[in-house]
Structure 1
């Protein structure tokens, strides 16, 4: 049965639906409505942790103190090999004594210091990097020296016409030639040549060439003379005696270069 406005007829009783609801009743009614709709939890896109305690921020590590390092001391400059050039000997005889006694000429080693041998104004000066391992008193007295002696006999050059010298005073395995050059060994070698005043010079071994003014980036064959203090000495730059000793073909090439250099005469 439908009654007039604001009334519902039920079982002969009238239900008045116009009474106001309190706030609590409105909230309860809304919850009942959602519950009957099957929704009994609140959902959100972002997760929320309810039980975890908030983490305390770790204290910042204390800054390490900066230790000021002292500036490195400049490396002491090594004395030049031979010392002051103004004090170098001016005669070949004095040079031979100085060669065995001057401390800066000795870079150390187990082998003895060996003196050069020969006379001034020799027809030929032979310059090798260092004495042989077996040299005890005489320069080039081992296998390399015997090879050289055989060559000189074949070339018709008497031993007394030859001045034998080395750029180091003693046999020195694995010598640091770049450092020796920087320390002034080349100037000593050139002074030695100037005192001998040879007619010609043969060098054996490429380690010698920078000491006498050759640019190592160029072909050794391009170095044909030594210029020093206004004097010029014809030069034949050869491979080491070890190289020639081990290779017969290399010895044949050396012989031909010698003939071309001397035009068939000594």
Structure 2
């Protein structure tokens, strides 16, 4: 028994079924051609209303394509509105500042961790400013590994730790703190007032992200802070945490410290 020769219609139907099963639905040449478009869309394209549609302007079409291909820069998060955190009656001395630091509602940056007071006395030979307390601090500022590193640094400088005023720019440990935004929101004025009340002879800032709290620094991280009593020399370096993670930063710190100390 011989098989009947397939008809042309059956061959075309088999070919179209094969291409459709393979996921090929268009013939891409200069223009896309819908081989397997449904009857509804073909009828819509052939309708009189479609024929009367206004042709797309070439220039407008190119502009739309360019707009689609232009990368969109992510919008910057809005900066907090600047506030007068010190109020009309700012603390007049360090004792008053410590009380205000521990209780002022406007300073709340993280409710999970307790506020930690600065330590030291006014007129210290050196003021050390760090971004924030350590995560484990509960009663004493820098009471963990960072504090031990700082104690070793102070001892190596030849200073007595009692002659150093140690403070943080934020009252409590604040994960992922945006120091630049907080400075713009008014914490820079708080820091400036804190430094003025402490009245140290020099200021060591451990954290390059703290520069917005102080203003711009030069290329070497050195500057002076102006206040009512005059100017204070300032050195800005990496954080204690960074120096613990990358020992080479300790060597860099010491080189800059020796240069800074020799110039004062």
TM-score (norm 2): 0.66
User: Equivalent residue for 1:232?
Assistant: 231
1:112 aligns to 2:111 (yes or no): no
| Cα drift, residue 143 of structure 1 | 0.6
Unaligned runs of 5+ in 1: 1-54, 58-74
Structure having the larger proportion of residues in helix: 2
Residues 133 and 142 in structure 2, CA contact (< 8 A), matched pair in contact too: yes
TM-score (norm 1): 0.66
User: Equivalent residue for 1:205?
Assistant: 207
User: Equivalent residue for 2:83?
Assistant: 80
Structure 1 Cα separation of the partners of residues 82 and 180 of structure 2: 16
User: Equivalent residue for 2:58?
Assistant: none
Structure 2 Cα separation of the partners of residues 260 and 157 of structure 1: 17
Unaligned runs of 5+ in 2: 1-46, 50-77
> After the TM superposition, which segments of 4 or more aligned residues of structure 1 sit over 3 Å from their partners?
none
Pairing partner for 1:101 from 100, 103, 111: 103
| Cα drift, residue 185 of structure 1 | 0.3
Q: Output one character per residue of 1:114-170: Cα deviation in whole Å (capped at 9) or x when no partner.
A: 000000000000000100101111001111110010111111111110000001000
User: Equivalent residue for 1:252?
Assistant: 251
Mapping of residues 170-185 of structure 1, within 5 Å = 170-185=172-187
Indicate the RMSD between aligned Cα atoms, in angstroms. Answer: 2.4
| Cα drift, residue 182 of structure 1 | 1.9
| Cα drift, residue 78 of structure 1 | 5.0
2:92 counterpart SS class: coil
Structure 1 Cα separation of the partners of residues 199 and 125 of structure 2: 9
Query: Whose radius of gyration is greater, 1 or 2?
Result: 1
